[in-house]
Structure 1
Amino acid sequence: MSVLELAGAGKEYAGGVVALRDVDLTIGAGEDLAIVGPSGSGKSTLLHLMGTLDRPTTGKVHIAGEDATALGDDALSRLRSRWLGFVFQQSYLADRLTAVENVAVGLLYAATPRRHRRRRAEDALDRVGLGHRRDHLPHQLSGGERQRVGIARALVNQPALVLADEPTGALDQDTGRQVLALFRDLHAQGTTIALITHDPIVADTFSRRVEIRDGRITP
C-alpha cells in the first residue's frame, strides 16, 4: 500500500521560477528512503509538497489514497495531522514547556482529549529513549535530546509517514549518528520514514535513495 504518491507534481513561484518539474514519487508503507541533492536542487520544495505544507502548481499529491490537492484548508489540516509527522533541522521546542508538554502539543491539532495527551506523550518519549527526561525544560537538554523530543512530537500521533528535513544538520557528528541510529530503530519498529539530506553518507544509511537535481528526480 502506498502511503504517499506524487504524480507529475510541479511547483512554480512568482516570476516564473520553477522549483520542481514533473515529479513522480511513490512511498510504500514500511519504507525508509533518503531524498538527496545539492543546495538549491528542490529538496525543501519537494518536502513541502509531500507534507501538504504547500500545494503543487501542477500534478497531484495523494496521501493514503486521498487526493490532497482537492481538499480545502481545514480538511487538509486534518489529513496532515492524522497521517504525517514532521522533524526539522531545528527542534522548535517551546522554551517554557517541559519535554512531555512539547510533545503533547502535537496532539492538540488531532483533537485528542486532554486526559489522554500526557500518557501518549510519555509513550512517545519512551520510544526515543527520553522517558527519564520528560519533565525537563529545553534548556536543560542537550542538542541531541532536544532533537529526540522533536522526533517524539512527530511520532505522537502515530503517523503513517514521518518526513524529516536535514534532522542531523545542526548536530555534531557523534550526536548526528545517534539520531540516525534512532531513525533506524524506529524504521525497524515499522515507522515509514522519508528523510531529506544533502549528505550522501547520511543517505547511504537508508534502504532506498532518491536523487533530485534542478527540480527533477534523476533516474
Structure 2
Amino acid sequence: MTPVLEIKKASMVYAGGVTALNEVSLRIDDGEFVAILGPSGSGKSTLLNIMGTLDRPTHGSVAIAGSEITEMSDKALSRLRGERIGFVFQQFHLIDGLTAIENVATALLYAGVRRRDRHARAREALDRVGLADRSGHVPMQMSGGERQRVAIARALVNRPALVLADEPTGALDAANGAAVLDLLTELNRAGTTIALITHDRDIAARIPRQVHLRDGRLGAA
C-alpha cells in the first residue's frame, strides 16, 4: 500500500548551520490519525511545513500519495498541495467579509472546479461538520468553535489525501476545543487521514497514534 505521507531522513538546516530537523523519518498510512507531540522549539513548525509541501527539506525525501516533492517545480508542487492536502490552523484564517460557504469555496478556486459546482461542494463540506444551517453567516457572526468548523470544512472540501491540523484547539476554550477534537475523531472514523500537531499531552492522548518530536528528532511519544 502506498502511504499517504512518507518522509525519509529529512533534515532542515537553516543559514548559520541551525538544524531544525535532524534526519526525521515518518510514514502515515491511509485512514490514520496521528498526533505529533512536541514542546515549543522542538521543530514542529518546520516539520509541518515539510509535511504540507510548503518547504523542501535540505536533505532527505518527502512523498505525498506516492509523489516525490523534492524535485517538483513550484507550479506542480502548488497544484499537488491544493489537491492532496488540507490545512487547519489555530487562528482559523477565514476571510471576514465572506460567508461560511464562500470561505469554504475559496479552497476550490485553484483546483479546477467549475464555478457552479463550488457552492454545492462547499455546502456538502459544511454539512459534514454540522454547519449547514450557518452557511450564510460571516465569521463575526459565529463562535470560535463554529469558525474552526468552517476552517475544517474548507480543509475537507477538496477531498484531500491528508489533513494537517496545527494546534486546532489552541484558540478555543475547553468545551469548544473538546468538540473540535471530537469532530476530527469522527471524520477520521469516516476515513479522513489526519496529522495533528500539538504541544498538549492531554490532546495527544486522545489520538490513536502518537509520535514525539524533540530537538528536531522524531520518536515514540
Q: What is residue 59 of structure 2 aligned with on the other side?
A: 58
1:162 aligns with 2:163: yes
Cα displacement string for residues 6-35 of structure 1 (whole angstroms, at most 9, x for unaligned residues): 001010111111100000100000000100
Q: What is residue 148 of structure 1 aligned with on the other side?
A: 149
Q: What is residue 98 of structure 1 aligned with on the other side?
A: 99
Q: Distance in 2 between matches of 1:95 and 1:163?
A: 23
Question: What is the RMSD computed on CA atoms of the aligned residues?
Answer: 0.6
Q: What is residue 118 of structure 1 aligned with on the other side?
A: 119
1:27 aligns with 2:38: no
Q: Distance in 2 between matches of 1:74 and 1:112?
A: 18
Q: Distance in 2 between matches of 1:64 and 1:175?
A: 32
How far residue 111 of structure 1 moved from its aligned partner, in angstroms, is: 1.6
SS at match of 1:11: strand
SS at match of 1:106: helix
Q: Distance in 2 between matches of 1:57 and 1:40?
A: 19
Q: Distance in 2 between matches of 1:109 and 1:195?
A: 25
Cα displacement string for residues 62-101 of structure 1 (whole angstroms, at most 9, x for unaligned residues): 0111111110000001111111100000111111100000
Identity, in percent, stands at 63
Structure 1 runs of 4+ with >2 Å offset: none
1:132-143 map, 5 Å = 132-143=133-144
1:36 aligns with 2:40: no
Q: What is residue 9 of structure 2 aligned with on the other side?
A: 8
Deviates most, 9-18 or 123-132: 9-18
SS at match of 1:218: strand
Amino acid corresponding to residue 27 of structure 1 in structure 2: I
Q: Distance in 1 between matches of 2:176 and 2:196?
A: 17
Q: Distance in 2 between matches of 1:38 and 1:96?
A: 35
How far residue 218 of structure 1 moved from its aligned partner, in angstroms, is: 2.2
SS at match of 2:77: helix
SS at match of 1:174: helix
SS at match of 2:70: helix
Amino acid corresponding to residue 65 of structure 2 in structure 1: A
Query: How many residues are aligned here?
Result: 219
Q: Distance in 1 between matches of 2:145 and 2:157?
A: 18
Give the structure-2-normalised TM-score. Answer: 0.98
1:197 aligns with 2:193: no
Q: Distance in 1 between matches of 2:56 and 2:17?
A: 16
Q: Distance in 2 between matches of 1:154 and 1:218?
A: 27
Q: Which runs of 5+ in 1 are unaligned?
A: none
Q: Distance in 2 between matches of 1:206 and 1:101?
A: 31
